Structure 1
Amino acid sequence: MRKMGESGSVHVVRLLRDPVVAEVEGVDEEGEEVGDGVLWGGDGGGVDWEEGGEDAVLIPNLFSNRNLPFKELALWRIFECLVDGCTVMEHGSEYETDADGVPQIPATSPIYGGVPDPGILVQFDLKPENIMNGDWNPPDHLDTPVCKIGDFGMAHYFPRGGVMPWGNWAQNEEFRYLGTTNYQPPEQFSDRWNYSDYITGNICGRYGTKTNVWGIGQIMY
């Protein structure tokens, strides 16, 4: 969560208070309104302090609360926000655009070697219920509010180009069952896990940006 906040992106939730301080002061595990955010209890005593408070409406409720259908433009705006959030999980910040408007990998990306590389963050529970809305922020978010990826409680970093899955079956099993049924990617549910050559099958346990992209596709579907 700290690294996500350092990105400066509005398309991922951010910590508004140091988790250690919040833990000492006590946290309601069901979510507690504090100031302009929500303090959530987490596994193992960890907490996420997510901006938004009462205005942080989950995406499934954004239009249903008003009995309005999703318009095509609104869906594209949501998709753009999710792509920006996915970029943050891969590169630590959003894509930049050149003079011709062509997206470019941010100059601060760890792939260039200028900063330590934590790897690619896989969220592991991308679903509509974990996408929240923020402010209406013109000119980029005039028709729909900012949409941001939340709930990084299951997220893990994976090395770029790392050899996966692991030889340790117990470790593989731990990651296979993260997330929510019907939103898990092929890397988790593939039948290939049941075959002796699952390690060389190029599907099982190959977690990375493609895993996040699958989650975004599921949300949009």
Structure 2
Amino acid sequence: MKFEPWFWPEFFTAINETFYMVFVGLIISVIIGLPIGVILVITREGGLLENKIVFNILSVIINIFRSVPFIILIVAIIPFTRFVVGTSIGTTAAIVPLVLYTAFYIARLIENSLLEVDNGTIELAQAMGATPWQTIWRFLLPEALSSIVLALTIATIGLIGASAMAGAVGGGGIGDLAITYGYNQFKTEIMVVTVITLIIMVQLVQSIGNMIAKKIRRS
């Protein structure tokens, strides 16, 4: 495949923008999603700090954000995005909907991971006189760590896909390159390169996630 001289600089810029969106978006999403996932577990019926009102409110909010397709979410929260970062266009602006899309998804994944922990672990912690915070930090999270790593791997892959979709509204990154030049200008070779790049990124993330989770299970 032959490419014009401008392509490779644009290509590597797009990759940097994608890494930026995924890395920053993932960090912020974990900071938001992890505590929400923990709260869902401890406030559910029979939880350490059972509170049906908190659980139901959070559950509804998560379901609302998870029900909205990402491409619609981007457009729907344009005023909020503009309020947060001062603009609704560009790579930094794309991080706002990416975080809202991913954080609540991570919360649900964390909830599922923590629910996989055997009840005997919690009972042991309580028998030792551990406080709810100590039970969460020293027993619940360590026991679920391998599952949490795999959950975050899934979330990261979803975030890569969403970041590519952000290109449809000028979010930058690989998706923007594919749409602007590959789709709009009918350059099939650019579409092929961008798709292969995304596949490689996803495979790398999945492999690294599997490796880390495997090491944690063995330790």
TM-score w.r.t. length of structure 1? 0.28
Q: Which has the higher strand share?
A: 1
* TM-score normalised per structure 2: 0.28
Which protein shows a greater Rg? Answer: 2
Structure with bigger helix share is 2
